[in-house]
């Protein structure tokens, strides 16, 4: 458990406005928002009845407050997690939408982690060419990252997130209190993405993560709420400027080129996503420093923040050759060009398209891979 003493004392919610092709929407961050959903929905001018999609374990822990919103029909519970993020599960959602006679004015709530959000968002994007969806993320990763920005989708047997759509939500409701029940490792996994925001936009986040990790892991609202809100603000600004990922949104991929490769060569079994990104950021930081984009001191600040979160799975048995092959494959998927995101000091990034195999090789060796 991340904490058994999560604060339930409500703090004033923070509101962040996002613009999107489908219209503006609010990202709300605050304790108590998910435990009194009718009040939250009303304050946003949204209907208080919706089809609620969740996973059994999440519903068991956090569903009680949503019973009124779900109404007599109850929630639609599906299996979550990466293995279940498939077209099959989406097809089950279509059946549930049909059984509940949803129409284009209907509202769907995605109450869960990133996989529930991605699947429900995709089903809502495609059923009747688009239903409204409210994202209620219950993992740290989903709160600071996946719930905002409108990317939805599922995996195919051949790869992750290969089918998807951009479908902005009608609102995103982030309640840090729900994170108290997250397994510590899942909580930590989200924190690596928090560190990423520090590197790409707001170095003070690195200082907060390093010096207040105890309060963060204890889900103390006075530290965690502003931290999550700051990350949401950064993500919101980036996706507002570049909804369809042509330029600025790329900065969000800092640490992801090498992170994705580490996930792929271990068949998505060894690392939580954030842990792989932790290694990816160490490697990307090193390349940035070799290119004099980042000083040794800045790199050490990044390293310190990453290491302060705790031990990460070993990489010493992984081969550089396999990781390079995975990077090449990833590059093919994104139209043949590797846009490597380097850090420009702390708080800014630059996309470099001429990163060499040698640089990648040395960086992989630097973080501990063999060969």
Ligand X SMILES: NC(=O)c1ccc[n+]([C@@H]2O[C@H](COP(=O)([O-])OP(=O)(O)OC[C@H]3O[C@@H](n4cnc5c(N)ncnc54)[C@H](O)[C@@H]3O)[C@@H](O)[C@H]2O)c1
Q: How many residues would you count in the chain?
A: 371
Say which DSSP state 13 is in: P
- Candidates 62, 85, 132, 151; catalytic one: 151
Applying CB under 6 A, the span of 24-32, 90-98, 113-121, 318-326 interacting with ligand X comes to: 113-121
307 annotated active-site:
no
For residue 334, count other CB atoms closer than 10 A to its CB: 12
Smallest separation, CB 192 to ligand X (Å): 11
243 touches ligand X (CB under 6 A): no
- Candidates 155, 188, 243, 253; catalytic one: 253
235 annotated active-site:
yes
Rounded to whole angstroms, the Cα distance separating 292 from 296 reads 9
63 touches ligand X (CB under 6 A): no
Q: Calculate the alpha carbon distances from 337 to 258, 327, 341, 355 in Å.
A: 15, 11, 12, 10
253 annotated active-site:
yes
When binding is defined by CB under 6 A, the residue of 34, 178, 264, 367 that contacts ligand X is 178
126 touches ligand X (CB under 6 A): no
DSSP code string of 45-113? T--S--EEEE-HHHHHHH-GGGHHHH-TT--EE---SGGG-SHHHHHHHHHHHHHTT--TT-EEEEEES
When binding is defined by CB under 6 A, the residue of 113, 169, 259, 278 that contacts ligand X is 113
- Candidates 233, 250, 273, 286; catalytic one: 273
75 touches ligand X (CB under 6 A): no
Applying CB under 6 A, the span of 21-29, 80-88, 213-221, 353-361 interacting with ligand X comes to: 80-88
230 annotated active-site:
no
Helices (H), the chain: 37-43, 56-62, 67-70, 87-99, 114-126, 140-141, 184-200, 204-211, 213-217, 221-241, 256-265, 273-290, 296-307, 320-333, 357-366
359 annotated active-site:
no
When binding is defined by CB under 6 A, the residue of 36, 161, 165, 240 that contacts ligand X is 161
Residues that bind ligand X (CB under 6 A): 55, 57-58, 61, 80-82, 85, 112-116, 118, 138-139, 141-142, 145-146, 149, 151, 161, 178, 181-182, 186, 273
């Amino acid at each position: 458990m991340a904490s058994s003493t999560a604060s339930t004392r409500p703090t004033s919610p923070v509101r962040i406005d996002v613009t999107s092709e489908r219209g503006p929407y609010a990202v709300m961050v605050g304790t108590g928002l998910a435990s009194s959903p009718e009040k939250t929905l009303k304050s946003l001018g949204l209907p208080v009845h919706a089809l609620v999609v969740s996973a059994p374990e999440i519903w068991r822990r956090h569903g009680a407050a949503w019973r009124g919103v779900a109404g007599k029909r109850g929630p639609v519970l599906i299996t979550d997690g990466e293995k279940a993020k498939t077209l099959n599960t989406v097809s089950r959602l279509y059946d549930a939408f049909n059984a509940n006679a949803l129409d284009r004015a209907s509202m769907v709530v995605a109450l869960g982690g990133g996989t529930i959000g991605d699947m429900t968002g995709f089903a809502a994007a495609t059923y009747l060419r688009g239903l409204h969806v409210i994202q209620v993320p219950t993992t740290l990763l989903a709160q600071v990252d996946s719930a905002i920005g409108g990317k939805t989708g599922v995996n195919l047997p051949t790869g992750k997130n290969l089918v998807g759509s951009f479908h902005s939500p009608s609102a995103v409701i982030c309640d840090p209190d729900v994170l108290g029940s997250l397994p510590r490792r899942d909580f930590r996994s989200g924190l690596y993405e928090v560190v990423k925001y520090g590197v790409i936009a707001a170095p003070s986040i690195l200082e907060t993560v390093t010096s207040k990790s105890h309060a963060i892991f204890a889900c103390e609202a006075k530290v965690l709420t502003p931290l999550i809100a700051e990350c949401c603000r950064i993500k919101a600004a980036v996706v507002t400027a570049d909804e369809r990922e042509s330029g600025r949104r790329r900065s969000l991929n800092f640490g992801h080129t090498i992170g994705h490769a580490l996930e792929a060569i271990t068949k998505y079994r060894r690392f939580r996503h954030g842990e792989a990104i932790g290694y990816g950021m160490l490697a990307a930081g090193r390349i940035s420093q070799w290119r004099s984009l980042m000083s040794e001191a800045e790199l050490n600040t990044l390293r310190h923040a990453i290491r302060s979160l705790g031990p990460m799975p070993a990489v010493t048995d992984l081969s550089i050759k396999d990781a390079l092959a995975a990077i090449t494959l990833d590059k093919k998927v994104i139209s043949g060009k590797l846009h490597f995101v380097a850090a420009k000091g702390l708080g800014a990034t630059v996309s470099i398209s001429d990163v060499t195999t040698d640089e990648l090789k040395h960086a992989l060796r630097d973080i501990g891979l063999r060969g």
